[in-house]
């Protein structure tokens, strides 16, 4: 029983020893890789800022098309930053710091540099294969410069907002003239339309024959009531005035 326990403890000790050795080996490998990235980043920055090689020479050293594009982007980044930073005074190799971005699988090397006009932090990134991914020159600004830049951005933002408000107000104001123009066009169209013809006036015609028949009927009624012969009555002329029932003898 004691022998079995001794064997088990020996196995466990060996396993722990192997794990510790592998962890130490991995840590040493990572440290060596980071040291290599530091050296490569500083050498690349020195090559760019001192213009030791042309773009074609840098692209010729690339391992693939992606790295060649990264060299070209880094060369362009220095050309854009050169006017703001000025000539290089010193690339501080001791300031180089390496970090690993697990999400993007990139090694990021940051190196401080001193230039004639403004100091800068140069950032160089490598992919997991060790190929160059990007180069960026970031100028170092004082607190006052940062505040001034923030104030300028705020003013520009407010100016854009006011311009947009004025533009919208002008558009709304123009709606008034558009409405007036529509009303004038409608009035002009209405005036150009021909006026409807007046309805014809129907004149009432009085037929004399109808009047005579009516008089004859009235005369017959009067004669019958008086017991006289209606043939003895003489009707000269009857004229109706307007629409009333007043009859006048002419």
**Domain tally, the chain:** 3
The predicted pLDDT at position 233 comes to 52
Q: Is the dihedral of CA 60, 62, 66, 69 positive or negative?
A: negative
Q: Is residue 200 part of a domain?
A: no
Mean pLDDT of the 92-118 span: 91
pLDDT band at 199 (very low <50, low <70, confident <90, very high): low
Domain edge (last residue) among 124, 140, 156? 140
Q: Hey, which of 61-70, 189-198, 241-250 has the most confident mean pLDDT?
A: 61-70
Query: Which residues contact residue 70 at a Cβ distance below 8 angstroms, ignoring those fewer than 6 apart?
Result: 62, 131, 132, 133, 134, 135
Q: Is residue 44 part of a domain?
A: yes
Q: Is residue 97 part of a domain?
A: yes
Q: Could you write out the DSSP letters of every residue in the chain?
A: -HHHHHHHHHHHHHHHHHHHHHHHHHHHHHHHHHHHHHHHHHHHHHHHHTT-S-HHHHHHT-SSHHHHHHHHHHHHHHHHHHHHH-SEEEEEEEEEEEEEETTTTEEEEEEEEEESS--EEEEEEEETTS-EEEEEEEE---HHHHHHHHHHHHHHHHHHHHHHHHHHHHHHHHHHHHHHHHHHHHHHHHHHSPPPPPPPP------HHHHHHHHHHHHHHHHHHHT--GGG-----EEE-TTSS-EEE-
Claim to verify: residue 39 and residue 62 sit in the same structural domain? yes
Claim to verify: residue 107 and residue 90 sit in the same structural domain? yes
Q: Could you write out the DSSP letters of every residue in 17-39?
A: HHHHHHHHHHHHHHHHHHHHHHH
Claim to verify: residue 78 and residue 165 sit in the same structural domain? no
Q: Is residue 196 part of a domain?
A: no
Claim to verify: residue 129 and residue 166 sit in the same structural domain? no
Claim to verify: residue 150 and residue 116 sit in the same structural domain? no
Domain housing 227: 208-249
Give the tens place of pLDDT for each residue, 10-58: 655 655 555 544 444 444 556 677 888 999 999 999 999 988 888 888 8
Claim to verify: residue 161 and residue 136 sit in the same structural domain? no
**CA 226 to CA 233: how far, in whole Å?**
12
What rounded mean pLDDT belongs to the chain? 77
Q: For residue 91, what is the domain's CATH number?
A: 3.10.450
Q: Is residue 199 part of a domain?
A: no
Claim to verify: residue 184 and residue 236 sit in the same structural domain? no
CA angle 230, 232, 233 (to 5 degrees): 75
Angle between helices 65-85 and 2-49 (to 10 degrees): 60
Q: Is residue 46 part of a domain?
A: yes
Claim to verify: residue 243 and residue 151 sit in the same structural domain? no
Claim to verify: residue 44 and residue 99 sit in the same structural domain? yes
Claim to verify: residue 84 and residue 165 sit in the same structural domain? no
Give the tens place of pLDDT for each residue, 111-146: 999 999 999 999 999 998 889 999 999 999 888 888
Q: Is residue 22 part of a domain?
A: yes
Using the predicted structure, report yes or no on whether residue 192 has a pLDDT greater than 80.
no
Mean pLDDT of the 176-190 span: 80
Claim to verify: residue 119 and residue 64 sit in the same structural domain? yes
Sheet holding 132-139, edge to edge: 88-101, 106-115, 120-127, 132-139
Claim to verify: residue 183 and residue 218 sit in the same structural domain? no
Q: Is residue 184 part of a domain?
A: yes
Q: What's the predicted TM-score (pTM) here?
A: 0.52
Characterize 41-73 residue by residue with b for buried, 16 or more Cβ atoms within 10 angstroms of its Cβ, and e for exposed: bbebbebbbeeebeeeebbeebeeeebbebbee
């Amino acid at each position: 029983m004691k022998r079995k326990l001794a064997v088990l403890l020996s196995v466990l000790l060996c396993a722990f020893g192997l794990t510790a050795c592998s962890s130490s080996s991995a840590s040493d490998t990572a440290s060596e890789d980071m040291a290599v990235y530091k050296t490569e980043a500083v050498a690349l920055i020195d090559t760019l800022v001192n213009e030791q090689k042309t773009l074609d020479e840098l692209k010729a050293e690339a391992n693939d098309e992606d790295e060649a594009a990264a060299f070209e982007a880094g060369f362009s980044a220095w050309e854009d930053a050169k006017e703001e930073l000025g000539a290089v005074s010193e690339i501080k190799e001791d300031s180089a710091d390496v970090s690993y971005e697990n999400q993007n699988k990139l090694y990021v090397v940051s190196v401080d540099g001193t230039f004639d006009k403004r100091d800068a932090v140069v950032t160089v990134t490598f992919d997991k294969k060790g190929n160059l991914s990007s180069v960026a020159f970031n100028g170092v600004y004082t607190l006052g410069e940062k505040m001034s830049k923030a104030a300028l951005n705020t003013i520009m933002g407010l100016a854009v907002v006011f311009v947009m408000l004025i533009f919208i107000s002008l558009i709304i104001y123009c709606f008034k003239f558009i409405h007036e123009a529509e009303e004038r066009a409608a009035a002009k169209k209405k005036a150009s339309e021909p006026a409807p013809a007046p309805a014809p006036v129907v004149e009432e015609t009085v037929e004399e024959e109808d009047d005579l028949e009516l008089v004859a009927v009235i005369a017959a009624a009067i004669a019958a009531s008086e017991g006289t012969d209606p043939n003895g009555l003489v009707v000269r002329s009857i004229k109706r005035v307007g629409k009333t029932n007043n009859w006048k003898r002419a």
